[in-house]
Each structure stands twice: as structure tokens, then as C-alpha cells.
Copies of this chain bind each other. A is one copy, B any other.
């Protein structure tokens, strides 16, 4: 493949789309009011215990709030919240109350004292800061996820989380995208024919909210096309 060598860049994509909610300690001060900030650079960094990182520029209004309390909430985002996320990314909490502007609601976040969760988010991860590292343009906060709240509607009758019902959003190089076709599951490259037939419906997709509300399309029982199976060994 012919490749062009580029200046170093931040091309690792897609990235999750999230809203970070936080608040200061002193509720009387306007600058301490609950705020929502978006970050492009966030991710899980450890499984047990669950840990995440978010990277923030020092200039962000939320930076001193998170530094002061050692708390923030990572709120995942459904397609219906995408425009609100974008708005939070271009406006500053120094100038306005973004919860009020967007008619979103700050709810107490399980396990935290100061930072609120966003009630409208399908999933909220309550995070307590462990460390902060200055990297250059951004400072990276490492935090432990101390509690997780999940919209009851995302569970199936067996109590399993069906994350595809959340209609999560991905960000790629300046643009927001819904999720599309389900391409496979972990282990599908070596799965038996029976497992593939059960778990790999050819038409399984995450449906855009603009087409329907239920997230996952009903499944057409079509076995995976055998002729298309890629030889992997």
C-alpha cells in the first residue's frame, strides 16, 4: 500500500463522544455551578479496578472544578444528545449555565459528593481522580470509576445490558457518526458455524434514532454467506 508520511498527528479514531459533568465545592459561587464539558481525549485504561483518563486543557472552565473536588462524571451520549454535546464543546461554562441552556438536568451522581450526573444520559460513570499529569497542551486526569448508572431501558429481560439500544455516538476527525452495521463479535473469527448463525445475523444493525427508536433492527434469519468467509489461518 502506498502511504504518505505525515506530520505527527492525533489520528487515532473513532473516539467516544461523551459529556463530562462536574461542579465546584461552594454552591454559592456562580463559577462552581454544575457544568458540562466535552473532551475528545478520554478512554478506559484499566479493567480491574475500572479506571479512565480524560485530558483537559488548563484553560477549560471545568479544569479547576475537577481539580478542586477530584470528581467528574463521564456521561455517554445517545444520538438525540449529539447536538447538545456539540454545543457544550463550543460554549464555555464561564459564560452560561449549560444545563439550563440545553434543558438538561443535573442529578446526584452515585458515589460522588459534588459532581452531578446528567439525568438524560443513558449511562453515567462516577469518577474519582487519582492523579494528574501535565503532558503539554493537555493535562491527563486518571480516575477510578466508583459507580455506574445505566438507564433501565437498556437491560433485556435477563438483566443483560444491551448497549446497542443506547444509540451511542462516535467522533471521527471532526464529525459525529451513528454506529452502523454489526460486523462481528469478539471471537467471531474463530467461532463455530452454529455460533456464527446464532450471533451473526446478516442484517443486524444499530438503527439511527431518526429512523426508529428501538435501536437494533429486527433480525432476518440468514446464515452467514459461507463463500465470503475469510481464510484467517
Q: Which of B7, B102, B186 contacts A232 (CB 8 A)?
A: B102
Choose among A10, A52, A179, A183 the residue with the greatest number of B CB atoms under 10 Å from its CB.
Answer: A183
Q: Which of B135, B190, B210 contacts A46 (CB 8 A)?
A: B135
Q: Which of B2, B83, B122 contacts A189 (CB 8 A)?
A: B83
Q: Which bracket fits the contact residues of A?
A: 35 or more
**B184:A86 contact, CB within 8 angstroms:** yes
| Interface: A164 (CB within 8 A) | yes
Query: What chain B residues lie within 8 Å of A161 (beta carbons)?
Result: 6, 11, 173
Stretch at the interface among A21-29, A63-71, A144-152: A144-152
Query: What chain B residues lie within 8 Å of A163 (beta carbons)?
Result: 11, 13, 172-173
**B42:A12 contact, CB within 8 angstroms:** yes
**B205:A180 contact, CB within 8 angstroms:** yes
| Interface: A137 (CB within 8 A) | yes
Q: Which of B2, B5, B11, B74 contacts A110 (CB 8 A)?
A: B5
Chain B residue nearest in CB terms to A172: B163
**B48:A11 contact, CB within 8 angstroms:** no
**A41:B49 contact, CB within 8 angstroms:** no
Leading 3 A-B pairs by shortest Cβ distance: A43-B43, A180-B180, A46-B135
Q: Provide 10 A-B residue pairs closer than 8 Å at the C-beta atoms, listed in order of the A residue.
A: A3-B152, A11-B125, A13-B76, A14-B14, A14-B168, A14-B170, A45-B53, A46-B140, A83-B188, A90-B189
User: Which A residues contact B (CB, under 8 angstroms)?
Assistant: 1-16, 18, 40-53, 55, 74, 76, 79, 82-84, 86-87, 89-91, 101-102, 110, 119-120, 122-125, 135-138, 140, 144-153, 155, 161, 163-164, 168-170, 172-190, 205-206, 208, 210, 230, 232-233
In the complex, given contacts A4-B149, A15-B44, what are 14 additional A-B residue pairs having Cβ atoms less than 8 angstroms apart?
Answer: A3-B150, A4-B151, A11-B161, A47-B136, A48-B137, A51-B135, A83-B189, A86-B188, A86-B190, A90-B187, A102-B232, A175-B184, A177-B179, A180-B206
